Copies of this chain bind each other. A is one copy, B any other.
Amino acid sequence: MPHYRAPVEDTLFLLSDVLGVHGRANLAGFADATPDVMEAVLREGGKLADAVLAPVNQAGDREGCTRHADGRVTTPAGFKTAYDAYVGGGWLGLSMPEAFGGQGLPQVLNTAIQEFASGANLALSMYPGLTQGAAAALLVHGSQAQKDLYLPPMVEGRWTGTMNLTEPHCGTDLGLLRTRAAPNGDGSYAITGTKIFISAGEHDLSENIVHLVLARIEGAPAGTKGISLFLVPKVLVNEDGSLGARNGVSCGSIEHKMGIHGNSTCVMNYDAATGWLVGEANRGLNAMFVMMNEARLAVGVQGLGQSEAAYQNAVAYAKDRLQGRSLTGAKAPDKPADPIIVHPDVRRTLMQIRAFNEAARALVLWTALQSDILHRTEDAQERRTADDLMGLMTPVVKGVLTDRGFANAVEAQQLYGGHGYVEEWGMSQFVRDARIAMIYEGANGIQAMDLIGRKLPKDGGRAMMTFLGEVQTFLKDNGEDEAMAPFVRPLKTAADDLQQATMWLMQNAMGKPEHAGAGASDYMHLLGLVALGTMWGRIAKAALARKAEGGDTSRWDAKLVTGRFFMERTLPETALRLARIRSGADATMALDAEAF
């Protein structure tokens, strides 16, 4: 059976040494997150992931969810117990406001726990994960009464949340959506329509489910400017918070999916279900984007989580499986063959995943820290910079970490040979589960378009200039340090590639937007590579500092080697991305649609 062990030590190192979160006492809530508290939280969260969530992961895949004739959905055996342990420990509300029962701790801590949970059991982690997203949207856009009524049980995990956007004919292009809302005259609306691909739409883990639903109020404008957001509880809620009658919403069927079988993906039928407007009428997309942005970062973290889980298992297999002899002479002469970890191509695979994971972990925590700064600082300039950087990096974290996380799961599976292809060993599940992260919350092509079409040009390119400025500062600050040269030199080349790609787009895509579209995916990956390379620069610096303290330096030596591998093997991909972007859209767009 596959195993999982939460990367607690690495997370602690990143938080303290690389991101310096303990020096951020100016941020609200950070003063409470002392080094001791952070360590205790991460160790407990790690234990939960390892010992409670991971053990039901494979069984959850095998059993899947079951929809009964009456519309009820049963989650796999063991999920309810594990979910109860998760929410019982207060993990869902870790960084939610104390006013609603949360612990108010930094988002950066919550993000670390999200990695652990999604690495241990992606399907299960989605139930609380979607609840956090729905709660975030209510926090920002809900009325005080809505927050008071719905948030405490959601933070507690007694009620879960969903987001209902997609309809059969309408995915990315939400302007096409048809679900309609008719005023009931009492302030509520009757919501009617069909939503598909609703994760956690119906299940047996919670007493109630709070659906956030995009719909069009009768008479509203066509397109995206006529969409409103509604709160539609599965069970109607009395004023005192107790549960009333069943609402007119039900699960029509569940999807048969490639993976995340433990999560119920539902077709939801709204049949004049009672709903309440969240935020302003016709401003639903705006409200939903709060949830989407939160969810996008969480999905990027899922890519990392699956990559880490697959890596850990591949390492164990590579140390255990005996096959062939080392090119440099037998390493286990007493055994019939050497463990396959002696083979360079196996090492290459493991190093490639490891070098990604460690930088990706730094990047998601860095991005979460921007979120903390944005929401918790009093300094306007600091807030603006954090907002810029987070906006810029959200599509990158989502798109790049899930593309690479999936590719890494495939590589890890490959090490198992035929054993990777049979379900018994669990590697197929990592691949199948990781695959969804490239798709949901906006397919990665959409992330790339968001980056290049919205985030990049916004405010005259201020966010990208800020990011590149930070990279340049890092390069300048470390340019004279001989020990940092293996990191500084390749990062400078990569940052130059990014700068040139950005220039090329500025000069060419204004006149012909198809140049931007044809290069969008490559540009997203180019920025992702530079961001990950920058993280390796920061990690290396911190590792060198720890190494200088003396003692057993093996952990820091391993960090530095892993970083060098990234710089030598992964980062040079920036040149390929630049070449593709510069080739423009001509060959891409030349054919008539009929020629396909």
| Residues of A bordering B, CB below 8 Å | 166, 169-173, 175-176, 196-197, 255-259, 265, 315, 318-319, 322-324, 327-328, 336-337, 339, 341-351, 354, 406, 410, 413-414, 417-418, 420-424, 428, 431-432, 435-436, 438-440, 443-445, 448-449, 513-514, 516-518, 520-521, 554, 558, 561-562, 564-565, 568-569, 572-573, 575-576, 579-580, 583, 585, 587-591, 593, 595-596
Contacts and interface: CB of A to CB of B under 8 A. Distances in A.
Contacts of A258: 421-423, 428, 431-432
B558 A595 contact: yes
A432 to B, nearest CB: 7
A259 B537 CA distance: 41
B517 A345 contact: yes
Given A171-B323, A173-B323, A344 B514 contact: yes
User: Is the contact region of chain A dominated by helix, strand, or loop, or is it mixed?
Assistant: helix
A442 to B, nearest CB: 9
Contact of A445 (B169, B171, B346): B346
Contacts of A336: 176
A568 B518 CA distance: 12
A318 B350 contact: no
Contacts of A514: 327-328, 344
B572 A580 contact: yes
A443 B417 contact: yes
A422 B343 CA distance: 37
Contacts of A436: 421
B418 A440 contact: yes
A93 B507 CA distance: 59
B439 A431 contact: no
Given A257-B421, A576-B572, A173 B565 contact: no
A418 B596 contact: no
A348 B593 contact: no
B438 A351 contact: no
Given A176-B323, A344-B518, A421-B435, 6 more contacts: A197-B418, A256-B422, A328-B514, A344-B516, A344-B520, A413-B435
A423 B554 CA distance: 47
B417 A513 contact: no
Contacts of A337: 173, 175-176
Given A176-B337, A517-B345, A351 B414 contact: no
A169 B354 CA distance: 27
Nearest to A445: B345
Given A341-B593, A554-B595, A595-B558, A322 B568 contact: no
A259 B410 CA distance: 14
Nearest to A582: B568
B318 A596 contact: yes
Nearest to A574: B576
Contact of A588 (B328, B417, B516, B565): B565
Contact of A576 (B322, B351, B573): B573
Of A259, A516, A569, chain B has the most CB atoms within 10 Å of the CB of A569
Nearest to A331: B593
Nearest to A515: B344
Contacts of A517: 327, 343-345
9 contacts: A170-B323, A173-B323, A256-B424, A327-B517, A354-B596, A406-B410, A417-B443, A561-B587, A575-B576
B342 A593 contact: yes
Nearest to A352: B588
A323 B436 CA distance: 20
Contact of A414 (B257, B344, B443): B443
A558 to B, nearest CB: 5
Of A196, A350, A354, A595, chain B has the most CB atoms within 10 Å of the CB of A595
A585 B422 contact: no
Contact of A583 (B256, B421, B569, B588): B569
